């Protein structure tokens, strides 16, 4: 049976418009009743509540969803960073006619507020002035409660990355326990996950036609509550870890073995009169889960089970990740008390035409005027950047991009991207001719996809590039090279930088691309993230071996020399990732010393909701393989001392870490690495120096500092510039190059 990626019934721009389209687009989506009056609105059809400052730019979720709904004819208001201590702020735009759309913002609110060591950050890049504390913990949950208090009969639609990654029973790092699906805790009516544009449009139009929110249970990329499995659906039981059981006698394979009445009929049935003469039996084709995937639901272990059994949690996580390909994913269901939370299959990827439509909406591209001259650090980082694609097929287990945006790359056209660059050049205040980034979740996955749509639709691999690049993956970078060349030839554009994450194991497949990148698009430094050097942690991360980094480094240095440029790679590494031993970190430290790197900022593993590595952290099992109670465990770094030790190995050069490292090396039987020789890691004697203070001040800017709200540089030990001048803080990509 041929399988292909399903096609959307309607493109985003094909829906019939709501009657309020006569009002036309607003300069900014209103944040006050005064703005609504100026627009001639008596009410809002939809009100979006968000934990971020309202920036009318396509890098901010509330702007994309708001402008998209506006283009459908709906009147959309914004309540940004409301006072959550009462319902008053949630009523300032009046009662929405259709629904509240609730999102925590561009980041999970807990990751936004706390460091990997669970310390409170004093800054928030998505808040005017960069001040911390402008949103509550678990903002989606709190905002939903206040919306319900404001107008109890108004439907609540959850969305954004916090809702997307907490849609299922999930391990919460900050409470060190498994929490309910956010849909249950927030008491919302429906949750949209992943790329939610198509889902939110359909929900809005169906509500506008008078359909009840409880009846909307057939939209992809949604989660909702049901009491029972509907008639006509097949339910596959995956509530327990598979184990050998009784082997049944082979029966007719065309019979649905879950339908006991059909089995009884098959066993009792004799040959028909016509067939009896020939000694044959009539074959009946009955519905079966293998043939009816769109009517099949997989029952996961219940919340109560995964809460009390970490191995079952790992099993549920594995099943969830195996059902993420929109071409073959089945619905999932998980019991929460006396209710079932259903998860429809993932949304259908957006076409290039739809991506162009979204990014071509009339964004003002600046923060709302209500903020005055206040700086919003996240906006300053992206205001001269252009997002060219969505999605990532890398599948890194510590990252949640794939779970949220999908692994199928969704691309914009060259024309759409060039138009946005021209708009930045002509309209955005302060443009000096430099585009700070032309990228996305992964800069060089643009236009890269499976060679066969049928194979892509049927594939269940979590990564297209691990343990090696799939033979079915087209690694052609020519379209991206052509885009770079078009962009830098635009009048008024002096420089196009690439600051988003770079998948270097893909890049080395195209030396022409690496040459293009190094010759024209590197601003002196290129961040790249091998994450580790040892196979133990790398296999748990689903990252390539350090050999790929070495090959890319050779190309980088070769083409930099040919271009007559002095440029440097800055490698990033993760400490304390599941699967990492003390010996692994020691070997990484030795590699860093051999190669002359001194890391200033240390990146420790952060267990984000729903990530595969988080399931490893919580369960001690590896969901990348079949999970059983007897399957091999994963080494987990949880104790405070061991986490400090792993970070100390990354900063082996800091005298403040030497006492801890000396004790550890002695315990490991590696006292030979203590001494003053070139092959030794740390010296024997402790100098009388005060503690080292990193440039990032433990990943947060002290309250009251004159630098509050400013994103400081993240520096790795590099030779000083020839001028001797300090390097100015520069724009950083979404993530270090991978």
Binding residues for [4Fe-4S] cluster: 392, 396, 399
Determine the Cα–Cα distance for residues 496 and 140; give it in Å rounded to an integer: 37
Residue 151 sits at φ, ψ, to 5 deg, of -145, 95
Q: Which residues of 159-194 are buried (b: 16+ CB within 10 A; e: fewer)?
A: bbbbbbbbbbbbbbbeeeebbbbbbbbbebbbbbbb
Q: How far is CA 33 from the centre of its chain?
A: 35
**Secondary structure (DSSP) of 124-170:** -TTSGGGBS-SS-TTHHHHHHHHHHHH-TTS-EEE-HHHHHHTSSSE
**How many helical (H) and strand (E) elements, i.e. helices and strands, does the chain have?**
25, 21
- Render 51-83 in DSSP notation, one character per residue: SS--B-STTSHHHHHHHHHHHTT--EEEEES--
Q: How far apart are CA 158 and CA 143, in angstroms?
A: 10
Long-range contacts of 239-244 (CB under 8 A, 24+ apart): 239/299, 239/300, 239/301, 239/302, 239/305, 240/301, 240/312, 241/311, 241/312, 241/315, 241/627, 241/628, 241/629, 242/626, 242/628, 243/628
CA atoms of 651 and 589, how far apart (whole Å): 8
Cα(676)–Cα(259) distance, integer angstroms: 74
Binding site per annotation, positions:
392, 396, 399
Give the residue from 438, 506, 446, 500 showing the smallest Cα distance to 475.
506
DSSP percent split of the chain into helix, strand, coil, nearest 5:
35, 15, 55
DSSP H/E element including 480: helix 478-488
Pairwise CA distance, residues 34 & 370, whole Å? 12
C-alpha–C-alpha distance, residues 304 and 54, integer Å: 39
CB 222 within 8 A of CB 193: yes
**What are the backbone angles phi and psi of residue 484, rounded to the nearest 5°?**
-55, -45
Residue 211, token pair as written in the block: 């359909």
Q: Is 226 helix (H, G, I), strand (E, B) or coil?
A: strand
Rounded to 5 degrees, φ, ψ at 737 are -60, 145
Residue whose C-alpha is closest to residue 221's, from 158, 276, 303, 306: 158
Q: 436 with 499: CB under 8 angstroms?
A: yes
CA-closest candidate to residue 355, choices 241, 432, 447, 476: 447
d(CA 727, CA 736): 18
Q: How far apart are CA 709 and CA 105, in angstroms?
A: 18
**CA distances, 520 to each of 154, 485, 514, 735 (Å):** 53, 9, 10, 20
């Amino acid at each position: 049976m041929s399988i292909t990626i399903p096609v959307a019934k309607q493109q985003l721009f094909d829906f019939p418009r709501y009657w309020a389209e006569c009002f036309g687009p607003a300069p900014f989506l209103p944040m006050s009743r005064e703005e609504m009056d100026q627009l001639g609105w008596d009410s809002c059809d939809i009100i979006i509540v968000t934990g971020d400052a309202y920036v009318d730019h396509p890098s901010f979720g509330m702007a994309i969803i708001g402008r998209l709904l506006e283009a459908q004819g709906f009147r959309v208001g914004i309540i940004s960073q409301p006072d959550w201590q009462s319902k008053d702020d949630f009523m300032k735009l009046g009662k929405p006619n259709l629904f509240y759309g609730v999102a925590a913002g561009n980041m999970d609110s807990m990751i936004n507020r706390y460091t990997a060591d669970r310390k409170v950050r004093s800054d928030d890049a998505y808040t005017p002035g960069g001040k911390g504390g402008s949103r509550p913990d678990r903002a989606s949950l709190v905002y939903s409660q206040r919306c319900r208090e404001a107008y109890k009969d108004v439907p609540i639609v959850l969305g954004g990355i916090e809702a997307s990654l907490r849609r299922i029973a999930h391990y919460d790092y900050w409470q060190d326990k498994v929490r309910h699906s956010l849909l249950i805790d927030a008491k919302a009516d429906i949750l949209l996950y992943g790329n939610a544009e198509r889902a939110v449009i359909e929900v809005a139009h169906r509500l506008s036609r008078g359909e009840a929110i409880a009846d909307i249970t057939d939209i992809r990329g949604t989660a909702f509550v049901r009491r029972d499995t509907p008639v006509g659906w097949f339910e596959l039981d995956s509530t327990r870890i598979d184990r050998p059981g009784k082997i049944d006698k082979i029966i007719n394979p065309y019979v649905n073995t879950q339908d006991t009445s059909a089995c009884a009929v098959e066993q009792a049935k004799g040959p028909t009169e016509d067939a009896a003469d020939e000694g044959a039996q009539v074959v009946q084709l009955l519905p079966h889960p293998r043939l009816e995937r769109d009517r099949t639901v997989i029952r996961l272990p219940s919340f109560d089970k995964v809460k009390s059994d970490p191995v079952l949690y790992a099993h549920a996580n594995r099943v969830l990740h195996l059902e993420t390909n929109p071409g073959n994913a089945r619905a999932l269901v998980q019991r929460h008390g006396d209710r079932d939370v259903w998860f429809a299959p993932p949304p259908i990827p957006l076409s290039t035409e739809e991506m162009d439509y979204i990014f071509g909406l009339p964004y003002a591209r600046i923060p709302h005027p209500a903020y005055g001259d206040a700086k919003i650090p996240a906006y300053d980082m992206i205001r001269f950047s252009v997002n060219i694609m969505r999605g990532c097929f890398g599948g890194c287990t510590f990252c949640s991009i794939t779970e949220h945006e999908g692994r199928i790359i969704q691309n914009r056209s060259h024309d759409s991207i060039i138009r946005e660059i021209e708009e930045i050049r002509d309209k955005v205040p302060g443009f000096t001719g430099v585009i700070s980034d032309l990228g996305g979740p992964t800069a060089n996955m643009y236009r890269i996809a499976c060679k066969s749509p049928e194979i892509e639709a049927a594939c269940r691999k979590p990564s297209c590039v691990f343990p090696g690049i799939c033979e079915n993956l087209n690694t052609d970078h020519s379209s991206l090279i052509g885009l770079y060349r078009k962009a830098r030839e635009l009048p008024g554009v002096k420089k196009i930088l690439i600051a988003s994450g770079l998948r270097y194991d893909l890049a080395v497949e195209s030396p022409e691309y690496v040459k293009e990148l190094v010759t024209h698009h590197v601003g002196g430094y290129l961040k790249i993230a091998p994450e580790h050097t040892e196979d133990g942690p790398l296999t748990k991360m689903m990252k390539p071996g350090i050999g790929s980094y070495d090959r890319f480094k050779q190309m980088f240095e070769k083409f930099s020399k040919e271009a007559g440029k002095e440029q440097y790679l800055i490698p990033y590494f993760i400490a304390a990732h599941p699967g990492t031993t003390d010996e692994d970190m020691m070997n990484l430290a030795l590699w860093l010393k051999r190669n002359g790197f001194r890391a200033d900022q240390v990146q420790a593993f952060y267990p984000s909701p729903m990530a595969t590595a988080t399931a490893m952290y919580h369960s001690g099992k590896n969901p990348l393989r079949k999970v059983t109670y007897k399957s091999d465990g994963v080494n987990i770094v949880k104790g405070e001392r061991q986490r400090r030790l792993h970070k100390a190995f990354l900063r082996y050069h800091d005298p403040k870490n030497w006492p801890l490292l000396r004790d550890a090396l002695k315990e490991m039987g590696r006292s030979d690495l203590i001494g003053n020789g070139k092959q030794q890691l740390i010296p024997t004697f402790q100098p009388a120096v005060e503690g080292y203070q990193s440039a990032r001040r433990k990943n947060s800017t002290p309250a009251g500092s004159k630098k509050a709200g400013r994103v400081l540089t993240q520096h790795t030990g590099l030779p000083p510039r020839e001028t001797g001048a300090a390097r100015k803080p520069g724009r950083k990509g979404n993530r270090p190059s991978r």
